[in-house]
Amino acid sequence: MSNSNPSLHAVLDKIADYVCDFEIKSEEAYRTVRLCLLDSLACACEALSDRECIKLLGPIVPGTEMVNGVPVPGTGFRLDPVQAAFNIGCLIRWLDFNDTWLALEWGHPSDNFASILAVADYLSRTSASQGKPPLLVRDVLTAAIKAYEIQGMLSVENSLNRLGFDHVLLVKVASAAVVTALLGGGREEIINAVSQAFVDGPCLRVYRHAPNAGSRKSWAAADAASRAVFLAFLTRRGEMGYSSVLTAATWGFQDAFCKGQPLKLTQPLGSGVMENVLFKIYPAEFHAQTALECALQLHPLVKNRIHEVERINLTTHESAIRIIDKTGPLRNPADRDHCLQYIVAIGLVFGNVTADHYRDRIAADPRIDLLRSKMATVENRQYSADYLDPAKRSVANAVEITFKNGSRIPAVEVQYPAGHPRRRAEAVPLLEQKFRAGLARRFATEEQGKILELCGDARRLEETPTHNFLDLFTNCKSQ
């Protein structure tokens, strides 16, 4: 076997060039990323009410916190950047409530905030203690735009899910690239860190699907972000990279994981992912967001006739059928929020959905499983095509209800969910309300006011040192 090393793969090359050289000039991207940051922190505040999430927070070994470590929002923990990234990532992602990107692959680009905030706070706090200029929130936002773009554009042409692997690998790749740069790494070091992320390989999607859907899907991205920070620090110490990690025969990523198919990144990297990211207005798997909106419209017509329902037709797209079309018993909240039928039933019965609707107490309501037993799903091929069409990126669903007496409610169809770019104006006040509600859960009125005042002034927010910004989220009602 020849030991000559092939030239660098174009994917690694493009990512490094983009991180090092591309200047973000889009004001729309910066307006949107500010929303993404606040939305992610709103999700974190909501997750602090979930005991299953809280039990994973803190240092991995009790008693090993850092005196001047990275603060974990809404808690009293101060941790090293690697473990802080895991903690912040758990909070952002736990309720499956953070923003989303859908293509051949899908994912939640805001998962990258876990690594970016942890590293930026560490650098900002360290610099300030040494009398040097700290990193500003503007630096966090710029890094986030680039991480979103890397993860999102890799998702456009590559489908890990069809191979049985999870999308969180792309979080690791994107985060490794941008946090290595934040740590002062140059082009070669970014390539080395990204290559190490690919060497790790992807993890299985088994924890997202029946019959194994479980809570790991709520911390898998946190694990990826934390690992990215670890790899970035290791790279900055001088650890080598692997230039043919993608292309090496037999042992490389493409042969080992992609059945020999090339990993593609043919479209130019800019800021389009950030400008077109999808926000979640409801805590439900994104492929079901429009189905839920249909159910909420139907709720007034059905709520008093639950036992009269004969059949519910769910018309959806191929990705939803493959991921969240599920029958049989649902064993835990993670199982339920990845079930199209459960989400629709909740909307029909209660006219709303919150994180509490996935817990055992509400799941025991017999009306939910009664409605689930009446549901049948079918693919609309046009929905599936529009889902993948870059000019549309719809997430269409329709719900039709027939009663035992033969009467029916004609199908209600929603093409684009409330968080879609086509409905951005409608979504912004709802996202602001989500942020305020999250703060109210964890912070006293005075602390809420300070945070809202700062976040309401875009220029002042961006000029704030990162560590001062995160410190605002430490004075919570209860530790």
The CATH homologous superfamily for domain 10-275 is: 2-methylcitrate dehydratase PrpD (1.10.4100.10)
479 pLDDT band, cuts 50/70/90, is: very low
Residue 1 predicted with pLDDT over 70: no
The pLDDT value given to residue 199: 98
Axis crossing angle, helix 137-157 with helix 113-129, rounded to the nearest 10: 150
User: What are residue 133's phi and psi, to 5 degrees?
Assistant: -65, 130
Angle at 19 between CA 422 and CA 116, to 5 degrees: 75
The pLDDT value given to residue 476: 73
User: In this predicted model, what pLDDT tens digit does every residue of 211-253 receive, in sequence order?
Assistant: 999 999 999 999 999 999 999 999 999 999 999 999 999 999 9
Tracing tokens 């002034």 back to the chain, one arrives at 457
Q: Averaged over 81-91, what is the pLDDT?
A: 98
Angle at 170 between CA 272 and CA 118, to 5 degrees: 90
Q: How far is CA 322 from CA 67, 304, 319, 377, 416, in A?
A: 47, 32, 5, 11, 19
Rounded Cα–Cα distance for residues 265 and 147 (Å):
14
Tokens of 445: 């009125």
Q: How far is CA 83 from CA 70, 79, 93, 115, 330, in A?
A: 9, 6, 15, 10, 31
pTM score, whole prediction: 0.94
Domain boundaries, the chain: 10-275, 286-417
Rounded Cα–Cα distance for residues 324 and 440 (Å):
32
CATH assignment, 286-417: 3.30.1330.120
The pLDDT value given to residue 5: 65
Q: How far is CA 384 from CA 205, 316, 339, 343, 389, in A?
A: 21, 8, 18, 20, 9
Rounded Cα–Cα distance for residues 338 and 172 (Å):
23
Tokens of 354: 């919150």
Q: What percent of the chain has pLDDT over 90?
A: 95
The pLDDT value given to residue 9: 79
Q: Averaged over 184-190, what is the pLDDT?
A: 97
Q: Averaged over 185-207, what is the pLDDT?
A: 97
Contact in structure between 109 and 273 (CB atoms under 8 Å): yes
Residue 358 predicted with pLDDT over 70: yes
The pLDDT value given to residue 142: 98
Question: Burial, 361: exposed, middle or buried (Cβ in 10 Å; 0-12, 13-18, 19+)?
Answer: exposed
Rounded Cα–Cα distance for residues 286 and 283 (Å):
9
The pLDDT value given to residue 327: 95
